Amino acid sequence: MQEFGREERVGAEIRRELALLLRDEVRDPRLSQVTIQEVRVVRDLSHAKVYFTVMDEAQGKVTQDALNKASAFLRRRLAETMNLRTVPRLAFVYDKSIEAGLRLSSLIDKAVAKDEGRGD
């Protein structure tokens, strides 16, 4: 069984710390409903892509802009809490996978209902 690599462990720790920072320290109201889904860190730990979702999908772009604007503050706070030589630069990406999953689930439900309605 393969163990997790260092970049996966660092990504998981950054995910936990970012969730706490967004909950406790960030005062921007646009970031109050952000959920960090995943953090992917490159092998040399210089960059990290942070995938997030929000309750209102129409606010995805606005929230992404606000998070990218706050990335320097978040990186600085991560440097204070994490024991790393260098903290990766953060790039925030709106995660559309949940929306896609809900859409596919809805299509499957409609197809099943239509099939049941035919009485085959």
Q: Are 15 and 51 in contact (CB under 8 A)?
A: no
In a domain, 22, yes or no: yes
pTM for the predicted model, two decimal places = 0.79
pLDDT tens digits along 22-58: 999 988 888 888 999 999 999 999 999 999 998 887 8
CA distance 42 to 70: 21
Strands 47-54 and 89-94, by their bridges, are parallel
Place of tokens 């660092």: 10
What confidence tens digit (pLDDT) does each residue in 66-102 have?
Answer: 999 999 999 999 999 998 888 999 999 998 877 777 7
How many structural domains comprise the chain?
A: 1
Question: Parallel, antiparallel, or unpaired: how do β-strands 34-41 and 47-54 relate?
Answer: antiparallel
Per the structure, the complete domain to which residue 65 belongs is given by 6-95
Residue type, position 39, single letter: V
Identify whether 116 is part of a domain: no
Residue 67 lies in a domain: yes
How far apart CA 41 and CA 44 sit, in angstroms, is 8
